[in-house]
Structure 1
């Protein structure tokens, strides 16, 4: 999958929602999806960043994107229900959902984790994804084939000291993905997770401030794995954890 070569029209006709689309991997993926023909729904909390991505997509001369300003920290089930209704009304279906947004929290000894930090990390990395996925399942079922992608991590299946809430949230994310994949095994929906690996992002920089970023892959370098899971070339892939590097 790391060497996947997508066809120029592999996402034509698909509507794809990406969370955390205003920056980093989400921004790069939004542009890639638009480049390959998808209609992209940009979800994030900072409208200015989303508008910048929207403008870049406009410059591509492809399908017009749309913006959904949502704060994953405070959104309620009713907010997600309204969001799902809007997508169904405007697009008739949803072909893919990419859970890209995430929160690192504070790295440190488990015994020193503040409950507020725990709650914030689990809210963004797990609870909001549960609510958003639950609300969108009926809209995803309207697509001929639908792909939901969760974002995991190297600490998502092997715990690591000082990664506390973030590590736990990624373990739970993989469990949620596997549960959904098993439930929907004989349906038109598939659920997988991608581990981006060490990538030049703001989150990575906050976790490893002294790291030489010139040694890291850029977001552009890990796009093949995402495009593979979003395309119909991956219809048989379900319940898998894929490493983008």
Structure 2
């Protein structure tokens, strides 16, 4: 299996895309660190991976918005102590409430959304860089949104966070490119039949959307040897071809 001996951390691993990615990568032999604040959802993803006879994952309950920098550093230290290196990080956790105008957006909601969608990926990437650097090659993947990245009306804090997150990914990719060890890319999943899509567009006919499992080849590519040397790119799943 192409990802044997790979250790990959996935945020939002109890959610739709996070759990899909976790199962797809585990089936390729990767050891997955499942990160989410919901223990029941983590356990569901864990059970799915075990049922697939993939390497047993690790559950790590973690509230991205409610923890301190010390908690982030403790996470990085534990990964370093247990595995000695890390081959991948998938930022899949997302906070989205509803489409609404800026004029009625509450300060608390604004701050919480930016904490989960932007500040958490920054903090997590920063503390994990030393562990990722211990690998010959490693991959960091940020998850964007095809609808939010163009700043449409009413996308509010969610749209702002995705735009800023893509900027963060680009900056990090350029800073790390010269070392030729850690590649950084952004995945745009496109419309898929996910829980987030259902919340955002409740009246949409979900039967016309691709299943979340259709993204499996993209995840395997982004964390596999085929993408070594590819960095600073936006990978759109709708036009992705191996």
Question: What TM-score, normalized by structure 2, do the two folds share?
Answer: 0.95
Q: 1:237 aligns to what SS in structure 2?
A: coil
Stretches of structure 2 that go unaligned for 5 or more consecutive residues are none
Partner of 2:93: 101
**In structure 2, which of residues 173, 193, 198 is the aligned counterpart of residue 200 of structure 1?**
193
Partner of 1:72: 64
In structure 2, what is the Cα distance between the partners aligned to 1:56 and 1:107?
A: 32
User: Aligned pair 1:209/2:211, yes or no?
Assistant: no
Check whether the contact 1:178–1:239 (CA below 8 A) recurs between aligned residues.
yes
In structure 2, what is the Cα distance between the partners aligned to 1:106 and 1:208?
A: 9
Check whether the contact 1:156–1:174 (CA below 8 A) recurs between aligned residues.
no
User: Aligned pair 1:129/2:121, yes or no?
Assistant: yes
**In structure 2, which of residues 31, 50, 69 is the aligned counterpart of residue 58 of structure 1?**
50
Per-residue deviation, 1:111: 1.5
User: Aligned pair 1:117/2:109, yes or no?
Assistant: yes
Greater mean deviation of Cα atoms: 206-215 or 53-62: 53-62
List aligned pairs for 1:225-240, cutoff 5 A: 225-240=218-233
In structure 1, what is the Cα distance between the partners aligned to 2:224 and 2:3?
A: 6
Per-residue deviation, 1:85: 0.4
In structure 2, what is the Cα distance between the partners aligned to 1:106 and 1:28?
A: 23
Stretches of structure 1 that go unaligned for 5 or more consecutive residues are 1-8
Q: 1:147 aligns to what SS in structure 2?
A: strand
List aligned pairs for 1:43-54, cutoff 5 A: 43-54=35-46
In structure 2, what is the Cα distance between the partners aligned to 1:43 and 1:241?
A: 24
Q: 2:67 aligns to what SS in structure 1?
A: coil
How many residues get paired?
237
Residue by residue over 1:176-216, the C-alpha shift from the partner in whole angstroms, topping out at 9 and shown as x without a partner, is: 00000000012200100001111111111111110000011
In structure 2, what is the Cα distance between the partners aligned to 1:146 and 1:199?
A: 27
User: Aligned pair 1:87/2:79, yes or no?
Assistant: yes
In structure 2, what is the Cα distance between the partners aligned to 1:114 and 1:216?
A: 32
Question: What TM-score, normalized by structure 1, do the two folds share?
Answer: 0.94
User: Aligned pair 1:218/2:211, yes or no?
Assistant: yes
RMSD between aligned alpha carbons?
1.0
In structure 1, what is the Cα distance between the partners aligned to 2:52 and 2:101?
A: 46
Partner of 1:4: none
Q: 1:137 aligns to what SS in structure 2?
A: helix
Per-residue deviation, 1:145: 0.3
Q: 2:210 aligns to what SS in structure 1?
A: coil
